[in-house]
Amino acid sequence: MSEKTESETQLHCPYCYNLQEDFESLKSHVLSEHKTEPVPEKEGLILLTVNGESHSVLVEPEWTLYYLLHDRMGLTGAKMFCDRGACGSCTVIMNGRAILSCLTLAIECDRAVIETVEGVAAEQPKLIEKYAEHHALQCGYCTPGFVVTAKALVDKNPNPTDQEIREALAGNLCRCGTYPQHPIAIQDFIRVREGKEDV
C-alpha cells in the first residue's frame, strides 16, 4: 500500500482518539469535549505509518509506542508481559527491525513505518497458520512477539538456518516452553512461501 502524504493523514484526538480534520478542529474538539485536559501543542504531533495506513497522532512525552498502539489505536495484538525490555512479548517491527514497543517512546517514532502482529497476520497469514499447525504456542501470550520477530527475520533473511532462527528469537521468552517448535514452524512457512509444499 502506498504511503499517504502528510495532508492525507488522519489526525486523532489524544484523549478519545476521535478522528479530526485538522489541528484547529482538534483544538476546538479538546476545548469542548475534554475541558479538564491540556490543549494539545503542535510539538506532540507525530506522523507514522502503521500496517500500511498513515496516521497523524498527538502524543504525550511519556507515552510508549506500546501504549500508543495498544491503548490508543486499539492494536491489542502485542502483549505487555514484563514492561522492562526482558521478554519480547511487545515486539513490533519499526523501519524493518524488530523492536520492543515497551521501551520505545512514541514521540521518537515520527515518520516511522510500523508493522504490528495484526499487519503480519494480514500480510503473511500462512506464518500464523504454521505456528498453530506445529503447536508453537500454548497459552499464546508470548506468540505475537515471536511471530513478529520471525517476520522481521525472514524479511531480511529469506532462508535462515535453525541456528539463525534461534538467535533471532533469543530475546523472546515463553513460559510455556514452546521453544523447540518455533524453528519448525518458521522453516515450514518458508517452504510454503517458496512453493515447495502445497498451500
Residues that bind ligand FES (CB under 6 A): 80-83, 85-90, 100, 102, 137-143, 174-176, 178
Residue 56 · residue 12 · CB < 8 Å = yes
To ligand FES, the closest distance from the beta carbon of 134 in angstroms equals 13
Q: Are 12 and 57 a contacting pair, CB within 8 Å?
A: yes
Q: How far is the CB of 188 from ligand FES (least distance, A)?
A: 18
Instruction: Name the residue nearer to ligand FES (CB basis): 39 or 86.
Output: 86
Residues linked to residue 91 through DSSP beta bridges, in sequence order: 100
SS3 53: strand
For ligand FES, the closer of residues 11 and 148 by Cβ is 148
CA distances from 109 to 58, 114, 143, 162 (A): 12, 9, 24, 32
**Residue 57 pairs with which residues in a beta bridge?**
12, 46
User: Do 167 and 199 contact (CB within 8 A), yes or no?
Assistant: no
Select 53 or 83, whichever has its Cβ closest to ligand FES. Answer: 83
- What lies within 8 Å, CB to CB, of 177 at 6+ separation is 138
State which residue, 11 or 63, has the beta carbon closest to ligand FES: 63
- Nearby residues of 88 by Cβ (< 8 Å), 6 or more positions away: 100, 142, 145, 146, 149, 169, 171, 172, 173
Residue nearer to ligand FES on the CB measure, 83 or 164: 83
Shortest gap between Cβ of 21 and ligand FES (angstroms)? 35
Least separation in angstroms between CB 148 and ligand FES = 12
In whole angstroms, the minimum distance from the beta carbon of 66 to ligand FES comes to 7
- Residue 115 beta carbon to ligand FES: minimum distance, rounded to whole angstroms: 16
- Nearer to ligand FES by Cβ, of 75 and 87: the residue is 87
